[in-house]
């Protein structure tokens, strides 16, 4: 039976997710934003039970008295009276209780006798504020409403658990990392410090620099520029094959497409490239992040894996190597064929039911990118080896095809402008905060990588990727990653004194 790869491929733009999946979830190839995936735990580990908080539907309309149940978790194992409260912020996926028992923040909690809370993001996971995911209902899905959720939750829990005088610190990685900083920005009286890991701050319509960082990251292997050179050569071979029907047949077979490729269908061709290039993007973004990612090679799939394949002359010509890497990813996700049909993908993401596959976070996140952030990763830069087949116009068209013609270029540009005006973009003005980022992670381009004050410090970690500092430490950690955790802890200690 064919497995629809879209159930494993869920992105479109930016951000991070606290997901139940053991591996990154994709939106047709590209990682869904940053997506903070959970650490691996033993099946013997005991997780705290889910709890439910009565949350307001609309924090900005006092005449709207509707409420809904928001999911959260508590770990009070290490807590002692007077200790700080650590609040982990959920993102664009189902909140995973694995974070409640492991990770760097849990080690900090043990050290400082902290109470640990995690709040699931509205409209993701099991936190369903509305009956369905219609555009009419998705107007209640925004970062501003999510921040107000955090504020109301924090205020109510302080009363319920007698925590009004305790220090509060927020934690988040990727999109939740942005929320962590914005929580401190918008509600400084409610949170005393914030750790904002791998967080993008500059909303932007077009993000071609993502692939430029992927290019740079691939040069860090022992092969230097040869890896990128071979990828570019393979891309040129694909471009040549797209010129005639026999070439379409070759590509259909080489990349295990579910249906015969029609090279005249530009949307399907773009979607094919989004998928296969997305495999490279995904591995670079999550390179060596301390999660076990077992593939057909029997080892962690990393940047080194990519370049070992692309530079292996015994594995055929560069196109065969390119296809071999694609096959490795498909076998890892137990995917039999690659579905690149644009129309069927759009139809799936138009489904407004909570029972649909797109409701696992894909439809919601696409909506947030169209309505707030964009972050559209494109091939509009010629300074990368992956061709020019999914320009920013492809992402804009997708917004319109899923949510309506009102999401045109000018509307999305205004949404992006509003977001940057609201939060400050690169110019965010905050205190008592740290901004960890990894040099391998393409999202660092939109983040804060230089300190913006004595009490707003960047922690730039050379050689690490997305949210690496959040995962449990290992004996293989780079010295700069070990030092980064110490720097974060030093700042944390000052906030909770």
Give catalytic residues, as residue numbers.
Answer: 174, 441, 466
Closest C-alpha to 159, from 85, 97, 100, 89: 85
CB 174 within 8 A of CB 108: no
Q: Name the one residue in this structure whose structure tokens are 């205020």.
A: 155
| Helix residue spans in 165-302 (DSSP H) | 175-186, 209-218, 226-241, 245-254, 266-285
Q: Which of 375, 403, 472 is nearest to 16 (CA)?
A: 375
Distances (CA, A) of 411 to 5, 133, 175: 31, 21, 22
Please enumerate in sequence order all residues whose Cβ is within 8 A of that of 246, keeping only pairs 6 or more positions apart, or say none.
none
Radius of gyration of the chain (CA): 22
Distant-in-sequence contacts of 231-234, Cβ < 8 A, 24+ apart: 231/280, 231/310, 231/318, 231/322, 231/385, 231/386, 232/385, 232/386, 233/318, 234/310, 234/318, 234/319, 234/321, 234/322
In b/e form, how buried is each residue of 243-267, taking b as 16+ CB within 10 angstroms?
Answer: eeeebbebbbebbbbbeebebebeb
d(CA 201, CA 113): 31
Q: Is 236 helix (H, G, I), strand (E, B) or coil?
A: helix
- Euclidean distance between CA atoms 115 and 219, whole angstroms: 43
What does residue 375 show for φ and ψ, rounded to 5 degrees? 55, 35
- Cα–Cα distance measured from residue 36 to residue 52, given in angstroms and rounded to the nearest whole number: 22
H or E, element range at 68 = strand 67-75
Mapped onto helix, strand or coil, the DSSP state of residue 337 is: strand
CA 70 to chain centre: 21
């Amino acid at each position: 039976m064919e497995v629809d790869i879209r159930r494993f491929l869920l992105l479109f733009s930016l951000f991070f997710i606290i997901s139940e999946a053991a591996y990154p979830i994709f939106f047709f190839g590209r990682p869904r934003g940053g997506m903070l995936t959970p650490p691996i735990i033993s099946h013997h580990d005991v997780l705290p039970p889910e709890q439910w908080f009565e949350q307001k539907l609309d924090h900005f309309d006092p005449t709207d008295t509707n409420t809904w149940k928001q999911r959260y978790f508590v770990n009070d194992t290490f807590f002692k009276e007077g200790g700080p409260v650590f609040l982990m912020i959920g993102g664009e996926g189902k909140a995973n209780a694995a974070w409640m028992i492991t990770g760097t923040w849990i080690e900090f909690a043990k050290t400082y006798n902290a109470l640990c809370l995690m709040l699931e993001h509205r409209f993701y996971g099991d936190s369903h504020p509305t009956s369905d995911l219609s555009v009419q209902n998705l107007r209640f899905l925004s970062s501003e409403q999510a921040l107000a959720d955090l504020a109301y939750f924090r205020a109510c829990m302080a009363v319920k658990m007698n925590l009004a005088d305790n220090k509060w610190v927020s934690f988040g990685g990727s999109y939740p990392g942005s929320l962590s900083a914005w929580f401190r920005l918008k509600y400084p009286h409610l949170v005393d410090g914030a750790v904002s890991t791998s967080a993008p701050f500059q909303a932007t319509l077009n993000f071609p620099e993502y692939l430029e960082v992927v290019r740079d990251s691939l040069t860090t292997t022992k092969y230097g520029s040869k890896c990128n050179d071979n990828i570019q050569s393979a891309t040129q071979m694909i471009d040549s094959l797209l010129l005639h029907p026999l070439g379409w047949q070759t590509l259909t077979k080489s990349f295990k497409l579910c249906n015969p490729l029609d090279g005249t269908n530009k949307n399907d061709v773009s979607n094919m490239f989004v998928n296969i290039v997305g495999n490279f993007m995904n591995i670079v973004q999550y390179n060596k992040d301390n999660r076990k990612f077992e593939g057909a090679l029997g080892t962690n799939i990393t940047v080194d894996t990519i370049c070992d394949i692309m530079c292996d002359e015994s594995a055929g010509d560069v196109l065969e190597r390119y296809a071999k890497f694609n096959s490795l990813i498909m076998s890892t996700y137990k995917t039999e064929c690659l579905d690149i049909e644009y129309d069927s993908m759009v139809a799936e993401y138009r489904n407004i039911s909570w029972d649909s596959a797109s409701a696992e976070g894909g439809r919601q996140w696409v909506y947030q990118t169209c309505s707030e952030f964009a972050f559209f990763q494109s091939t509009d830069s010629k300074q990368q080896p992956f061709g020019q087949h999914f320009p920013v116009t492809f992402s804009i068209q997708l917004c319109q095809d899923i949510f309506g013609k009102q999401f045109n270029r000018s509307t999305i540009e205004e949404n992006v402008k509003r977001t940057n005006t609201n939060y400050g973009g690169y110019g965010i003005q905050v205190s008592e905060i740290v901004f960890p980022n990894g040099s391998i992670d393409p999202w660092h381009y939109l983040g804060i990588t230089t300190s913006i004050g004595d009490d707003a410090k960047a922690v730039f970690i050379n050689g690490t990727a997305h949210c690496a500092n959040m995962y449990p430490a290992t004996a293989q950690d780079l010295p700069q990653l070990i030092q980064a955790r110490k720097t974060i802890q030093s700042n944390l200690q000052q906030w909770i004194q």
